[in-house]
Amino acid sequence: MPSEATYKYLDPVALSRLKNLSLAAKLVAEGFFAGLHKSPHKGFSIEFAEHREYTPGMDPRHVDWRVLGRSDKLYVKQYEEETSLRCYLLVDKSASMGYKSEGAAMSKLEYASYLAATLAYLTAFQHDAAGLITFDNRIRDQIPARQGPGHMRLLMEKLEHTQAGAETSLSKVFHELAESLKRRAMVVILSDLFDDTDELISALKHFRHKKHEVIVFQILDPAELDFPFDDVTRIEDMETSREITSDPRAFRKAYLDELNKFLDAVRLGCRASNIDYTTARTDQRFDQFLGGYLARRQALLR
């Protein structure tokens, strides 16, 4: 486990606030730890292998009460067929993720990096395996899901050197990743999701077709959600440099109408595919957002 103060995107204060929360799996997936994560395997022998220190979110039915009586410490029994959760953190580093308005403390990419680093830390804390994939119009970095302090250092250093890049091609990248991740895993997507809606939903469904559990954090700047620019007559696309000129009030109304249609379509598409979707605003503290999300998620699993 890396030192909380060593890396840019590991905030010690945030980690202390989130230490009692876990990223537990909702769905049955191959290789998920029995207790904290469900296993789909039935009907084979279960042989005790070792004890594992209890962490919040684990099934209390696996607590070894005899050990508790002797040592006053909580341990759960781990069995031979139990393996770790594999969690892949997919960070969008396209040009639009570099946007930061005056009302935001950081860019969307920085916000995504804080979330990814914290989730990787929490995954390691619960003895599971975290991997990192960064992408724009293609996959840029792909670090497999593993455990250990050295692996965590690699993830943190990669996040620190990640910068906004080229245009977005989400659906192409997601289809490619859905085919390349051969074993079932938890896939956490951190992106503004700016892509064609139908193609985006189809690509997200591809992950579910491959039996992965999918969590989507749509990260947006407050200016993108509220559009406070009453005097704007010219808009430039960050990824294509294309400019649009329009009456400010008419443009604002049309923009907000289209944005709300897009957000509703993504939300409904995710819900229909049993994909966990939520929106994150970069003017909200990332630890407050993540803490609220994880608490709600844990409550649903009880």
Q: Which pTM was predicted?
A: 0.79
- Domain end residue (candidates: 59, 79, 99): 79
For the stretch 200-251, pLDDT in tens is: 999 999 999 999 999 999 999 999 999 887 765 556 555 565 666 666 677 7
Q: Is residue 37 part of a domain?
A: no
Query: Among all chains, which residue has been given the structure tokens 């997200």?
Result: 204
> How many domains in the chain?
2
CA distance 38 to 85: 10
Do 69 and 89 fall into the same domain?
no
Do 97 and 188 fall into the same domain?
yes
What is the pLDDT, as a whole number, of residue 28? Answer: 46
Mean pLDDT of 42-67: 65
Measured CA distances, 78 to 12, 23, 52, 75 (Å): 30, 19, 6, 9
Query: Among all chains, which residue has been given the structure tokens 């040592």?
Result: 71
- The pLDDT mean for the chain works out to 84
Do 55 and 195 fall into the same domain?
no
Q: Is residue 4 part of a domain?
A: no
158 close to 152: Cβ distance less than 8 angstroms: no
What is the pLDDT, as a whole number, of residue 26? Answer: 73
Q: Is residue 6 part of a domain?
A: no
Do 56 and 200 fall into the same domain?
no
For the stretch 87-135, pLDDT in tens is: 999 999 999 999 999 879 999 999 999 999 999 999 999 889 999 999 9
Query: Among all chains, which residue has been given the structure tokens 């696996």?
Result: 62
What is the pLDDT, as a whole number, of residue 235? Answer: 62
Do 163 and 284 fall into the same domain?
yes
Give the domain extent around 163: 12-23+84-301
Q: Is residue 30 part of a domain?
A: no
Q: Is residue 217 part of a domain?
A: yes
Quote the percentage of the chain above a pLDDT of 70. Answer: 81
Q: Is residue 107 part of a domain?
A: yes
Instruction: Identify the CATH number of the domain in which residue 99 sits.
Output: 3.40.50.410
Do 160 and 286 fall into the same domain?
yes
Do 129 and 211 fall into the same domain?
yes
For the stretch 125-139, pLDDT in tens is: 988 999 999 999 999
Q: Is residue 29 part of a domain?
A: no
Return the closest-CA partner of residue 213 out of 176, 187, 193, 189.
187
Do 261 and 116 fall into the same domain?
yes
Q: Is residue 38 part of a domain?
A: no
